Amino acid sequence: MQFRGYRDSIRESLSYFGLYRKMHRVKKCMIPESVSFGSHKDQYFLYYEPEHTVSDKIIMWVHGGGWNAGTPKYFDFVGQCVANAGYRFVSIGYRLSPKNKYPCQIEDVCAGYKAALRYLNDKKIDTSKVIVSGPSAGAHLSSILCYSKSVQDTYDVDVSNVVGFIGVGGPYSFSVRTSLSVKLLLNQLFEKNYDRTKGEPCLLMDASDIPMLLIQSRHDGLIDFSCAEEFYNKAVSLGNACELYEVVDKKNTHSWYTAGMFLETREENKGLDKFFSWIEIV
């Protein structure tokens, strides 16, 4: 087991060059609208309007990057992929660690979510069917948005129009086996002596009628599969509808299946096909 984890960590590190090369080759078929919802440079979202919509569902996505890196603009290829598939897409940004400590990140995600709804409503776009999704750190934050009533109350967020949540490679539990990389990232995210249970999705989850899909790999290299299993078991115990999908693609390291899948087609990537097929039927 330890050897497999070490091997997967090496595979994750070696995957970056190929991933970045493919990212920079993506053609920009559309220019998204950038909308600020705060004074900080990272407090904005990008809105992608597809040329031809295939659904009245809107996908709101919170980017990953270990809480300390990434922006909606950096992950433009995700928006291009989803909008090209015919879905309206919102990519929400947030202030990054270590300069900005939690709960700044969830505060921004909640503010961005509300601002995006107002923006879409002003455009006379139906916002009654929202899918919230995020990979890695974005899965952590977006899951809290969807399932923590205490956070919803604190930031005055109404999620009654959310019809589904998709978390990809998320660190939902801090009590399971954790890689050194994730431990260091969590140390950057939280102030010393901060009560981390206030930022742990598994402990914050309440009963909810929002169905969830958890996409996770046993060869992640950063996030142990047991993290998703614990979140799944907590959901089941509360009566929340939940499906745990195990990644079967050969490109199954953390960065490839959390972000890199959007660089491939549904025919090439079963994880991406699961992402869209679940949205289609939920």
pLDDT tens for 132-168 read 999 999 999 999 999 999 999 999 999 999 999 999 9
pTM to 2 decimal places: 0.95
Among 281, 246, 276, residue whose Cα is nearest residue 264 = 276
Question: Token pair for residue 67?
Answer: 């809480």
Location of structure tokens 């890199």: 260
Among 143, 248, 160, 241, residue whose Cα is nearest residue 200 = 143
DSSP 182-205: HHHHHHHHS-TT--GGGG-HHHH-
When mean pLDDT is compared across 4-8, 101-105, 168-172, the lowest value belongs to 4-8
Whether the predicted pLDDT of 9 surpasses 90: no
CB 261 within 8 A of CB 81: no
- Strand, helix or coil for residue 132: strand
Mean pLDDT on 21-36: 89
CA dihedral 201, 202, 206, 211 (to 10 degrees): 80
